[in-house]
Amino acid sequence: MKNQLLFTFSFQKYCLLLFLFNGYFIQAQTPKGKLFIIGGGDRSDDLMKQVLSVAELSKKDYIVVLPMSSEEPDSSFIFFKTQMVKLTSHPIVMLNFNKETAQNKTLTDSLQKAKLIFISGGDQVRFMNVVQNTPIKTAIKKAYENGSTISGTSAGAAVMSEKMITGNQKLQKEYSGTFDNIRHDNLETSEGLGLLKTAIIDQHFLKRNRYNRLLSALVEFPTLTGIGIDEATAIIVRNNQIEVAGDSEVIVFRNPKGIQKAKKTDLISIESLQMSIYMAGQKFNIK
């Protein structure tokens, strides 16, 4: 009887510890921060005011700009700062990391403590070549987990997802701003920041007719939600809820069914999929 009571007590204690551990693990994995992802193009003052509002900066907070996507990082920073100094009095700092400064703990600590981090446009592959497998990426993810807002435009939008569209085609050597067809295993992707695990982002979407590119992404990754953000438009991500902001629209593809590849060609077919169009103020959920 005594052994039975001890076993019951131990089992209950084990279950309680398991419950607390799982609860802690789930809580630890839920970021406190937000994402403000802009599809490129013009950024109106109203849109950037929304960025500041979402970031909820306190008196001591500052903004960090990461311009490593750009061929001209100084110009990219000046353009951003010139607009933002009209809208906020908070300090705006550029951290133009390279492979050497990526290991500088003082700089990466400053990045992690920023309440708003903005990633400029340019080339997303260039950005990730600097950031990947470095303390920079870790600092961005920790800042997001701890409550910071991570924002970016164009290339700075593409890097947000775990599966990142590079813009290149595997079956065509020359770069094209869009895809002229939908073929199997044509989309080149690489690892992004991984702040969005269940969605893949494309930008300049309506302006550059990137439907084929995002559909190609869904063929390769059918469990993901494909989100195409137009220019001067943004999505605000709060965990799994997304709100649209800005002047244009956001196109969402999901749940492709009946994907087939032709036997003798690289062409593919999709029997059905869900497509939605959202405009400013509207909301939708992702997994």
Q: Are 164 and 101 in contact (CB under 8 A)?
A: no
Nearest to 234 by CA among 212, 203, 207, 213: 203
- Exactly one of 120, 184, 231, 248 is catalytic; name it: 231
Q: What is the pLDDT of residue 19?
A: 53
Question: Percent of the chain scored above 90 by pLDDT?
Answer: 80
Determine which one of 69, 70, 151, 154 is catalytic.
154
The pLDDT tens digits of the residues spanning 130-152 come to 999 999 999 999 999 999 999 99
The 8-class DSSP code of residue 103 comes to G
Q: Which residue has the higher pLDDT, 129 or 16?
A: 129
Residue with the larger pLDDT of the pair 7 and 98: 98
Over residues 181-209, the pLDDT tens digits come to 888 889 999 999 999 999 999 999 999 99
Round to whole Å and give the CA distance between 153 and 38.
4
Residue bearing the bigger pLDDT, 128 or 184: 128
The beta-carbon contacts of 277-280 under 8 Å, at least 24 apart in sequence, are: 277/249, 277/250, 277/251, 277/252, 278/244, 278/249, 278/250, 278/252, 279/244, 279/248, 279/249, 279/250, 280/233, 280/244, 280/245, 280/246, 280/247
What would the pLDDT profile of 43-89 be if each residue is shown by its tens digit? Answer: 999 999 999 999 999 999 999 999 999 999 999 999 999 999 999 99
pLDDT at 108 over 70: yes
Res 125 pLDDT > 50: yes
Query: How far is 167 from 176, CA to CA, in rounded Å?
Result: 8
Is residue 71 flagged as an active site residue?
Answer: no
- pTM score: 0.89
Quick check: helix, strand or coil at residue 198?
coil
Residue 129 has pLDDT above 70, yes or no: yes
User: Quick check: 110 pLDDT over 80?
Assistant: yes
Identify whether 231 is a catalytic site residue: yes
Say which residue, 186 or 242, is predicted with more confidence.
242
Amino acid at 174: E
Pick the catalytic residue from 204, 216, 243, 249.
204
Active-site annotation holds for 272: no
